[in-house]
Structure 1
Amino acid sequence: MALHETESEVARAMLYAVQGGKGLRAFLVIESARLFGIARTHAAPAAAAIEALHSYSLVHDDLPCMDDDDLRRGKPTVHRQWDETVAVLAGDALQALAFELVLQTVCPAEQRILLGRSLADAAGVRGMVGGQMRDIAAESRGAPLSLDEITALQAGKTGALISWSAAAGAVMAGEDQVALRRYGDCLGLAFQIADDVLDVEGDAAAVGKAVGKDAGRGKATFVSHLGLDGAKRRASDLVAEACDALSVYGEKAETLRQAARFVISRRN
């Protein structure tokens, strides 16, 4: 069915929102599937699904009622390029598309259902949305979050989708998820610590979004608790733990180990 002109505008905003990212989560889906001999083409719908869902979260996170950001991935945020209404609807549509895509993954029906159900869990109040809500509530509570509280918050806000991506291959194959879940949990936390470091050390042009916002808001972060060097050491330790979790897969998992190392060496 052809799209109406106004629907096409939302579709254009959706496409704009998904362009320019690192594709880390999609990469993790494809690589975790490869461990179990699952073809890239079979895993591709799940990889596309997580990118659509992640992009929706960024579109909404950038809105004035949330983080009120003007720049994302080196270009104007969706609500600046269009307006808030289009941004909300584009985010909503990307979320719906994610579940349409994940159910097109080529694997047994039981595994497809588990993929969809676990994605909903990772994206919802027990995962990303819950973590985001904790983050927003922290801004008005009057006292900075403790290190344990930040860790729990980020395990949902950032880590849940990364952990889902890392375990997706095992889910598709109907295999044990423990090692890949551990890898994903450590990777997700290391990724967030690297983001906190970039907020201090990064250049906005290279990072593709505003930097220095956390300190400007007096927000508690891994850097504010651990110091810059301490945060970097913690991220490095987490990467080592992530890599160790993959030992059961031997050399087959080397690309996933390299991805973990990349996460804390990236400049954007």
Structure 2
Amino acid sequence: MDANRDTFETRLKNNAHEIEALLDLLLSPSSLSDEIARPETLRDAMHYAVLNGGKRLRPFLVVESAALLGGDAEAALRVGAALECVHCYSLVHDDLPAMDDDDLRRGKPTVHIKFDEATAILAGDSLLTYAFDIIAAPETTLPDTSKASLVLALARAAGLGGMAGGQALDLAAENQAPDEAGIIRLQAMKTGALIRFACEAGAVISASPPEDRRRLRAFGEKIGLAFQLADDILDLTSDIATMGKATGKDAARGKGTLIALRGMEWAEAQLREHVRDAEALLAPYGPRASILTAAAHFIADRKS
């Protein structure tokens, strides 16, 4: 596992560089065809929102799930960049005073602090819209049927029944703590849906059989649960310097978490079980799945 971890960490870092270079290019000052102009302050805020650090885990999962199944690497990178735009839009909006009211993100001022609230709202709106532009654009060299499948899957993962709906449930949880099933549903929507899409996208990009799509979707669901559980543990055990954002906020706001309901020992055991389930889903692919297996362990073991 140590050798695999070294390979995983190298590939994660290299992918982050590639994604950031592509995002920088996509958010250049030059207008695209059919764009009238790119307002400087808005573009600057979008650029700041997506290029202020981060592991780029979600696009990495797109790229590696596509690689596992022989998908086009360049197309996977563009789909990963689109997904990162959606993820970063969600962070910009989650940080707003009307939502989680955070001043720090990845150790830097949040977009509404760096710029202003109106610009932050528009930056989030524009990043969400741009994600679907990136997938649909001719530069993403996939069949139209694959692009339509990706657009539909990403829209479902990001919207009312996915991430945005999960954020609504999260805000409601400040007033009435959900039960265990409600917490799991909230987390599967707010955090898990985009991670599920990241893994499932590889099967769409590679035009793999339905069984591969179902298997990678299930893998994404498992590591999505692991990601949020690890996040909840870090929220209680880490600090601002390590996390790059405020910690302990869920407890301070009285939000229910699985740890609050079941305890830390249960949470750590459940986290290990999610990783075992994720490994089992990848077992049919043998050694070819070593990077995705390492990703599951990384999600569970991360410190920030």
- Per the normalisation by structure 1, the TM-score is 0.95
Per-residue Cα deviation, 1:90-130 (whole angstroms, up to 9, x for no partner):
00010011111122432221111100111011101111111
- 1:12 aligns to what? 44
Q: Which moved more, 1:59-68 or 1:231-240?
A: 231-240
Query: 2: CA distance between counterparts of 1:5 and 1:203?
Result: 42
Give the alignment partner of residue 30 of structure 1, picking from 47, 50, 63.
63
Query: 2: CA distance between counterparts of 1:173 and 1:30?
Result: 11
Describe the SS at the equivalent of 1:22: coil
2:154 counterpart of 1:122: no
Question: Which segments of 5 or more consecutive residues in structure 2 lack a partner in the other structure?
Answer: 1-29
Q: CA RMSD in A?
A: 1.5
Give the alignment partner of residue 266 of structure 2, picking from 230, 245, 249.
230
Count, aligned residues:
266
Q: What pairs up with 1:101-250 in 2 under 5 angstroms?
A: 101-104=134-137, 105-141=140-176, 144-175=177-208, 176=210, 177-250=213-286
Check whether the contact 1:43–1:106 (CA below 8 A) recurs between aligned residues.
no
Per-residue Cα deviation, 1:148-191 (whole angstroms, up to 9, x for no partner):
11001111100000000011110112222111011000000110
Describe the SS at the equivalent of 2:99: coil
Check whether the contact 1:50–1:98 (CA below 8 A) recurs between aligned residues.
yes
Check whether the contact 2:71–2:207 (CA below 8 A) recurs between aligned residues.
no
Query: 1: CA distance between counterparts of 2:96 and 2:254?
Result: 20
Question: Which segments of 5 or more consecutive residues in structure 1 lack a partner in the other structure?
Answer: none
Per-residue Cα deviation, 1:208-239 (whole angstroms, up to 9, x for no partner):
10001111112111211121221111111101
Q: Which amino acid aligns with 1:212?
A: G
* Gap change, CA 1:37 and 1:5, over 3 Å in 2: closer
Query: 1: CA distance between counterparts of 2:271 and 2:62?
Result: 22
Check whether the contact 1:108–1:172 (CA below 8 A) recurs between aligned residues.
no
- Per the normalisation by structure 2, the TM-score is 0.84
Describe the SS at the equivalent of 1:206: helix
Q: Which amino acid aligns with 1:67?
A: D
Percent of aligned pairs with the same residue? Answer: 47
